[in-house]
Structure 1
Amino acid sequence: MTDSTPKQEPPYGLRMPPDLKARVKAAAEANNRSMNAEIVSRLEETFLAESFATTGKSADNLADIDDLAEKLVALIMEKGLIPPTRER
């Protein structure tokens, strides 16, 4: 039998100035998430923005977005909502 419970990362002690901690706490409450989730979200956004700034695109999601756009166009054409156009 396999254990289907998600594995948790070991805790990471993070020291920060009290005023920054208060700002993180307030943002977490405003976004209805834990302080940890708020910190992780903001770090991910920072790295994504950094990637975009250096490459001009978000490499992590660009292929997925392009694939979804192609599927959406095909579905719209299949449903007859717009006439077929020339190849992309």
Structure 2
Amino acid sequence: MPRQTRSQALGPFLAAASSTKAIRKRVMLIGHERGLDASSLADVLKAKAHTERGLEKLLRFAGDHNLNCDWLFTGDLRGLRQMRPRA
């Protein structure tokens, strides 16, 4: 049996990290960390990244809160390190 490449081996984990559920968890983490109220997060939590409207909402949220999109959409920790702290 041929050996799997790194991307083949990580495929299921990468898919899970970029799921709508995982993105929502990261939005909730930011909301908790930054003290955002539930009403400001409600619209973003309903957004689905695989639709154009949902992606626009998530990108606007990321821009408004200085979030790294690599971290928000895939959970990439290098993106988390690059984010600017809240002023």
Q: TM bucket by the smaller chain?
A: under 0.3
Give the number of the structure whose residues are more often helix, by fraction. 2
- Normalising by structure 1, we get a TM-score of 0.27
Comparing both chains, which one has the higher relative contact order based on Cα–Cα distances under 8 Å and sequence gaps of 6 or more? 2
Q: TM-score, normalised by structure 2?
A: 0.27
Decide which structure has the larger Cα Rg and report it: 1
